[in-house]
Structure 1
């Protein structure tokens, strides 16, 4: 998954760079490349990155349940002493 993320990111950056390079000569094609790069970054790369970073996490550890609130209160009492 990490390799896929790196390859997709390099492709997006390359496409944006190409769009900025070609923009003075052919404005519409350059703008299209830059726009598609931004769309790819936010709708392809970012969801893949978020999935990659959170796939092995337990969401209950990050929710404010009664048990987690009690743990935080106990931890706060221990630090004060």
Structure 2
């Protein structure tokens, strides 16, 4: 059985969100509440988000997203063409 990366990311996200919700639902003075909330936050932002960004950026050229002179000229040309068509 082959588990895809998107399913792993979804499970991590679901676990993190449920951990945060459980921590928030505990009584205010409960000593473990902050640990659940912190663990969920770490899972969400330090595990799930980098995995998602890695998965989505595969096969993409980072030079296409950099603000170089060539890319700025391309954007300006597209802007002129779209304003001429209106």
Tell me the matched-pair count: 80
CA distance in 1, matches of 2:27, 2:71: 57
Residue matched to 1:36:
39
The normalised TM-score by structure 2 is: 0.71
The two structures, once aligned, show a CA RMSD in angstroms of 2.3
Point out where structure 1 has 5 or more consecutive residues left out of the alignment.
none
Matched, 1:10 2:14: yes
Q: 1:30 to 1:62 in 2, by over 3 A?
A: same
- TM-score, normalization: structure 1? 0.74
- Partner of 2:49 in structure 1? 46
> In 1, distance between residues paired with 2:27 and 2:76?
60
Bigger helix share: 1
Alpha-carbon distance, 1:4 to partner: 0.8
Structure 2 gap ranges (5+)? none
Over 4 Å off, 4+ runs: none
